[in-house]
Amino acid sequence: MGHIELAVPVTHIWFLKSMPSRLGLLLDMTARSLERVIYYEAFMVTDPGRTPLEEKQLLTDQEYMEAMAEYGDDSFVAKMGAEALRDVLVNTELESTVLELQEAMRSTKSKQIKKKLAKRLKVIQGFIKSSSRPEWMVLEVLPVIPPDLRPLVPLEGGRFATSDLNDLYRRVINRNNRLKNLMQLKTPDVIIHNEKRMLQEAVDALFDNGRHGRPVTGAGNRPLKSLSDMLKGKQGRFRQNLLGKRVDYSGRSVIVIGPELKLNQCGLPKKMALVLFEPFIIRRLKELGFVHTVRGARRMIEKRSPEVWDILEEVTKGHPVLLNRAPTLHRLSIQAFEPTLIEGEAIRVHPLVCTAYNADFDGDQMAVHVPLSLEAVLECKMLMMATGNIFSPSSGKPILTPSQDVILGSYYLTMDPREGFEDLSRIPLVGNKTEAIFANLDGAFHTHDWVRIPNPDYGRETTFGNSDQKTITTTVGRIRYSQIWPDELGFINFQVGKKELGDVINNTYKVSGPEQTVLSLDALKKLGFDVATMAGISIGIDDMIIPEAKTDIVERAFGKIAEVDGQYQKGIITAGERYNKIIDIWTVATDEIKQAVFIQLKTNGGKPGVNPVYVMMDSGARGNPNQVRQLCGTRGLMAKPSGEIIERPILSSFREGLTVLEYFISTHGARKGLADTALKTADAGYLTRKLCDVAMDVIITEQDCGTREGIWKKAIFEGDDEIVGLRERIEGRCSCDDVYNPIQPDELVVGSGELITEVIAKRVEELGIERLKVMSPLTSTASYGIDAKSYGINPASNDVAKIGDSVGIIAAQSIGEPGTQLTMRTFHIGGIASSVVTDPRISVRNGGTVRYRGLRLVEIAPGVSVVLNKTGSVQILDGNGRELEAYDIVVGSLLRVADGGEIEAGQLLAEWDPYNIPVLSEKPGVIGFRDMIPGVTIKKELDESSGRIAIVVIEHKEDLNPSVEVKDNSGKVIAVYSIPTGAQVAVTEDDEITQGALLAKTPRQASKTKDITGGLPRVAELFEARRPKEAAEMARVDGVVSLGGTVRSKRKLIVTDEESGEAEEHLIPHNKQIIVQVGDVVHKGQHLTEGSADPHEILDILGPNRLYEFLINEVQEVYRLQGVTINDKHIELIIRQMLRKVRITDPGDTEFFWGEQIERTTFMRENNEIVEAGGKPAEAEPVLLGITKASIETESFISAASFQETTRVLTDASTLSKIDKLHGFKENVIMGHLIPAGTGLRNYRDLRITLPFGGNIEDNVDPVEEEVVETPTAASPEAS
């Protein structure tokens, strides 16, 4: 390699400026001091001799001169520039420094100092381990990269286009040569120092332009691209050339629909195929003797002679091609098809694969790739064929589901006739299915007429059939529909919409396997298109029927609003409450109109026939209930750009047309939607990339890791409704423990380590088992990757995961791919806006005995008590005292059933005011105010409409705590209530109150203006493990709450454990609302203030299991809102990667040091070795890393460098002398190896194929090879 010999040593900028500075850590100097030496601003003492100066002491010019004069010329050595550093580094004794640092570590108690020492130790030990010398961080020779990597291209006109690197190298060479000359000429020191500094800066610019000082610019003030820039970012060497390359044998074109294709086919334009398969055609032309040279063959192809087309047909037969649609968000965006040659320019795509590709035909393009080698062709056929990708890897649901027309066809064909069958004897009985279909063709029956036929499923068990009746009543349409599905499914005698269709496809796969499923799907596609066309369902303006009830509903709403306005004018309610109530009235009205629309459409407004709009919506073919409401009913409430809801809704529908004002109001939302879509795509892509990077290395490496640890799964409820049943959550996982039937304890339902199949999951649910412990990627103890048992079934294949499955990448894609469907916005909630979910009452699901926990109550009427504290709950117990359900109770709730009382299923237990959060008094007495200072902590507002003065608590910076006191008759304070910011005080001084009286109320909307982060930003926030802006304080111990005055303008809240006497102090800012009262008993992990939970705190206080549960549920909630199903195991796998590091709290006898973060597996391995040797093991605590941080801190430095912060990662790797074992995917792709997963696993590298008639394939290698050359299509696996 060419190199430049430098006249003076120069430091490498990466080791100086890449934070933390390696040179700084090694020499224990600040980066600023180092820069002063390196850039010739100060002298550094390298050898103090006998003078009182110290080594590494910095001297200015003035001080240096004075020292020379004082101690003599030869008494000490001080130098400038990199040369000084090199001399000090040469003299550094690494081993003795390590011993000193370890001693200092042991003797210090300060965490800050420990952290700093640990950093230094890490770097120095890295140098010792790698036997690298620290002085090598200073360069004396500069390598020059080969010319191919810094090209110089002559342009016409005698000028040159050149790589920036040439300019940067040229500057270094010029300065270096000039410096050499100056040094020979005995030039004054000032000039030489300046020239040396310029050389240092030139080398800095070459390595990393812009890192020190102003970047060097070229023509047009553009900063030049340095060596670091060649590696960094999307256009850098790693991501541009090593991880993704442009490939030959590929083409792209627009796609159009190909309804005539089979599922494994795609239509490939002939012109395109001719270019893509050119080499195969050339070989075949030579074999058949048409031509003798490649050039001749090319000429023949250009002429497009008839033989060429015949050979093209022959060559493409049995040779699959890959189709890819960008953006490639998951593995189903690349699938293999058999090409069918077609005329025209566009690629034809089978309609059923559109869902997987997320393709439509409004100008989408796809790329075609030709697999060349025999192995590649085989892999396409076995693994990537569209017919093999029936199920989605993220949820295990069929992804080859038809959409739009085909669903419409299925629905229309299986629709219920309008008239029910009252009299069976009047329904015609037909001999068999065929007869019924012929009668329909003759016009004797309509498709939707009731007929009776002999029951084909009589006496046999099928999925959908009826085995009891001898004849069944059905329609001709359903007879036609049932013919395309396998007999084992039974006769499908119900209306089939989108949801039911998924069920039917799933069951077809279960009863008759993938081949039959694919055939049925193709038949369904044909039938669906035919019927949808022949039915003539289209949409016309008269089909959007406006409900008659609309005017009544609107008038009623205006009546209610007038009442609310009246209350506001009398001063009974505040402006905020008025706004919330109005929004609520309109939300309910809109909902009523929606119901009216559906009733009207279902009956088609009393006209004969079916309503097309209703059919399209109800079948799931197009449109959802809200869109139909906007077409026929009303557009409803709109939001301002700020996110607040405008209180006047748009009452017109699109069918009636909008007024100019209404149109203007609705433009806000429309524009915001478009802006969101554009941002969303990029964000979702970035999230997928980060997830892929963090989960990449998770491959299934063993069958069973032996552990029976796991996590608990239970059904998920929202209010009273079960959203996800236990059955869905445990199916396809392995049970940790033996589970027995609770009623017959000797019956084993599922064994420990056994797979929970659909049948077992159903049985568990039937037995009423509430929760079950399943094995999980989170608890797998495999040393690398995870084991198949912890993962369970691979959703894409409905089969147990195999060794070599890259489950990490699948998990990342499953979470990232639906990212584009998530919203970008943060939701602002005004009132109980547009979601009537937060029902202000609790009705119980199961009957039983009521038990109160931690509630403080006051009875205000016979059988009605009001709840005074925020932290209580109510349990419903069965006869054996087992908990059936539990509810957290809101402060101010009215409880309708006493403690210990009996309650029936569906009975009302509690209700509360949905608009306000009250502060109630537990004691009767006289009111006093504390810290209520007008203009500082409170403001008095005169409500003009009602003439009343309202006291509102405002935000303040003072050390004050506005509160209401309750005193007894003697004037002694018996209770103090802190009033939160934004609350309106409902009492005045010296009022007498009773127990349970209202002291103040905070409008719920005021406590809700903090945005609820939703959608994509929320998912990113969870996976990045960010601390929420408004994090809640959590109790660290179980105990009793007390207040302890004010410290540094924060309130001190103390939780004391009464048994152990342990007390934990919490400092809480004034603008945070405390939600516990003095004397409350709180549990570990309970929120003490308003705000969201911080995942790091959950891990710290409640341990990993509660963190797993929190993260899984929070991520799933975001996706569930958008109706996206993702299997829990994918999220668990990402969380496993976020928790793969531990922080050392006590190194014991290991080589770790305090505060170091290391991989959990490394920690376990080292500890086991130490324990075996009889030493003291290290102790550590788990650390939660966000996905970006976890990706950068991966074991493989090659993978980390290609992700982000390339220079920092490479600097780190070189000083710590890291070794990359090439375990993961990225590092192998970068090195040009096969990836260690699937067919690339090391176990499959040296396969020997044994022939059926004995011997190995190698023994017969010659004849086979000759044969391959002679065969017509060596590229197709059949031929060889």
| Residues in the chain, overall count | 1280
Whether 828 shows a pLDDT value over 70: the answer reads no
Query: What angle is formed at CA 394 by the lines to CA 390 and CA 398, rounded to 5 degrees?
Result: 25
State the Cα–Cα distance between residues 1074 and 981, nearest whole angstrom. 11
pLDDT at 1203 over 50: yes
Question: Is residue 470 in some structural domain?
Answer: yes
- Give CA–CA dist 186/1143, Å, rounded: 57
Q: Domain check: are 1045 and 978 in the same one?
A: yes
pLDDT class for 835, splitting at 50, 70, 90? Answer: very low
**Is the confidence at residue 319, as pLDDT, over 90?**
yes
pLDDT reported for residue 370: 94
Predicted pLDDT at 832: 34
Is residue 315 a part of any domain in this protein? yes
How would residue 958 be classed by pLDDT, with cut points 50, 70 and 90? low
501 shares a domain with 612: no
My answer on whether 409 and 476 are in the same domain is yes
Which pLDDT score is estimated for 261? 92
Confidence grade of residue 1164 (pLDDT, cut at 50, 70, 90): confident
Name the pLDDT band for 1273 (thresholds 50, 70, 90). Answer: very low
Query: CATH no. for residue 906?
Result: 2.40.50.100
Q: At what angle do helices 612-619 and 575-602 cross, to 10 degrees?
A: 110
Reported confidence tier of residue 1176, pLDDT bands at 50, 70, 90: confident
Q: Is the peptide bond before 514 cis (omega within 30 degrees of 0)?
A: no
299, containing H or E segment: helix 294-303
For the chain, percent of residues with pLDDT exceeding 70: 93
Q: How far apart are CA 1091 and CA 827, in angstroms?
A: 16
Give me the mean pLDDT over the 1249-1266 stretch.
Answer: 52
Annotate 861-914 with DSSP letters as a single string. ETTEEEE--SS-EEEEE-TTS-EEEEEE--TTPEE-S-TT-EE-TT-EEEE--S
Closest CA to 1131 of 777, 800, 690, 795: 777
Q: Where are the beta strands (DSSP E) in 416-572?
A: 450-454, 471-475
Q: Which residue has the higher pLDDT, 850 or 1279?
A: 850
Domain of 509, CATH number, reads 1.10.274.100
Give 320's pLDDT tier (boundaries 50, 70, 90). very high
- In this predicted model, what pLDDT tens digit does every residue of 241-263 receive, in sequence order? 777 788 889 999 999 999 999 99
Residues 1075 and 929 in one domain: yes
Domain of 172?
A: 1-42+80-231
Residue 1161 sits in the same domain as residue 1204: yes
Which band of pLDDT confidence, cut at 50, 70 and 90, is reported for residue 959?
low
Percent over 90 (pLDDT), the chain = 13
Last residue of a domain, one of 854, 889, 912: 912
- CA gap 529, 1079 in Å, rounded: 70
Choose one of 1222, 1256, 1275: the last residue of a domain: 1222
Beta-ladder partners of 857: 867
Tell which of 912, 944, 964 closes a domain.
Answer: 912
Q: Which residues contact 227 (CB under 8 A, 6 or more apart)?
A: 145, 165, 206, 207, 208
Evaluate if residue 107 carries a pLDDT over 90.
Answer: no
In this prediction, residue 1251 carries a pLDDT of 67
Is residue 775's pLDDT more than 80?
yes
Q: Is the pLDDT of residue 353 over 50?
A: yes
DSSP secondary structure letter of residue 923:
S
Q: Can you list the alpha helix ranges (DSSP code H) found in 742-806?
A: 758-766, 788-791
If we measure between CA atoms, which residue out of 935, 956, 952 comes closest to residue 986? Answer: 952
**Alpha-helix residue ranges (DSSP H) falling in 1024-1177:** 1095-1102, 1104-1121, 1128-1138, 1160-1172
In eight-state DSSP terms, residue 241 is: I
Angle between helices 81-90 and 189-208 (to 10 degrees): 80
Q: Measured between alpha carbons, how far is residue 820 from residues 358, 567, 814, 1024 in Å?
A: 11, 45, 12, 18
pLDDT in tens, 151-170: 888 888 888 888 888 889 98
Q: How far apart are CA 567 and CA 560, in angstroms?
A: 11
In sequence order, what are the residues at sequence separation of 6 or more whose Cβ sits closer than 8 angstroms to the Cβ of residue 1270? 287
Q: Are residues 885 and 861 in the same domain?
A: yes
| 822 assigned to some structural domain | no
Q: Is the pLDDT of residue 368 over 90?
A: yes
Instruction: Please report how many Cα atoms fall inside a 13 Å half-sphere around the Cα of residue 553, on the Cβ side.
Output: 22
Q: How far apart are CA 906 and CA 846, in angstroms?
A: 7
Residue 836 has pLDDT above 70, yes or no: no
At residue 1008, does pLDDT exceed 70? no
**750 DSSP β-pair partners:** 739
What is the rounded distance in angstroms from the CA atom of residue 398 to the CA atom of residue 352? 11
Other C-beta atoms closer than 10 Å to the C-beta of 551 total 11
Domain check: are 371 and 303 in the same one? yes
Kindly state whether residues 992 and 961 are assigned to the same domain: yes
Which residues, in sequence order, are bridge partners of residue 841? 911
What's the pTM value of the predicted model, to 2 decimals?
0.79
CA-to-CA distance for 739 and 755, rounded, in angstroms?
12
CATH of the domain at 266: 2.40.40.20
| Range from 331-340, 775-784, 983-992 that averages highest in pLDDT | 331-340
Burial pattern 71-100, b for ≥16 Cβ within 10 A else e, equals beeeebbbbbbbbbbbbbbeeeeeeebbee
Whether 948 has a pLDDT exceeding 80, the answer reads no
Sequence-distant (6+) residues with CB within 8 A of 1085 are 1034, 1035, 1098, 1101, 1102, 1106
In a domain, 1261, yes or no: no
Domain membership flag for residue 1232: no
Same domain, 334 and 303: yes
Is there a single domain that holds both residue 132 and residue 17? yes
Interval 904-922: pLDDT, tens: 887 888 887 777 778 888 7
Q: Which helix (H) or strand (E) holds 331?
A: none
**Of all helices (H) and strands (E), which one includes residue 1278?**
none
Q: In what order do the strands lie in the sheet with 938-943?
A: 916-920, 998-1003, 984-985, 948-953, 938-943
CA atoms within 13 A on the CB side of 884: 18
Q: What is the pLDDT of residues 1018-1035, one digit of tens each?
A: 888 889 888 888 788 888
CA distance 1177 to 1151: 10
Residues 1092 and 984 in one domain: yes
Residues 542 and 531 placed together within one structural domain of the fold:
no
The vertex-894 CA angle with 891 and 898, nearest 5°, equals: 110
User: Considering the domain boundaries, does residue 677 fall inside one?
Assistant: no
CA distances from residue 932 to 513, 971, 1104 in whole angstroms, order as listed: 75, 19, 44
Query: pLDDT tens for residues 171-196?
Result: 899 999 999 888 888 888 888 889 88
Q: Has residue 236 been placed in a domain?
A: no
> Does the pLDDT at position 369 exceed 90?
yes
pLDDT averaged over every residue in the chain = 83
Question: What b/e string do you get for 537-548 counting C-beta neighbours within 10 Å, with b at 16 or more?
Answer: beeeeebbbbbe
Q: How far is CA 116 from CA 93, 106, 1151, in A?
A: 19, 13, 17
- Count the domains in the chain: 7
State the DSSP H helix or E strand holding residue 625, giving kind and residue range, or none if neither. Answer: helix 625-628
Regarding predicted confidence, which is higher, 393 or 49? 393
Q: What radius of gyration do the chain's Cα atoms show?
A: 38
pLDDT grade, residue 1267 (50/70/90)? very low
198-235 pLDDT per residue, tens: 899 899 889 888 888 788 887 888 888 888 888 888 78
Q: For residue 122, tell me if it sits in a domain.
A: yes
677-681, 870-874, 1012-1016: least confidently modelled range: 1012-1016
The pLDDT value given to residue 342:
93
> What letter would DSSP give residue 432?
S
Whether residue 508 has pLDDT greater than 60: yes
Is the pLDDT higher at 865 or at 594? 594
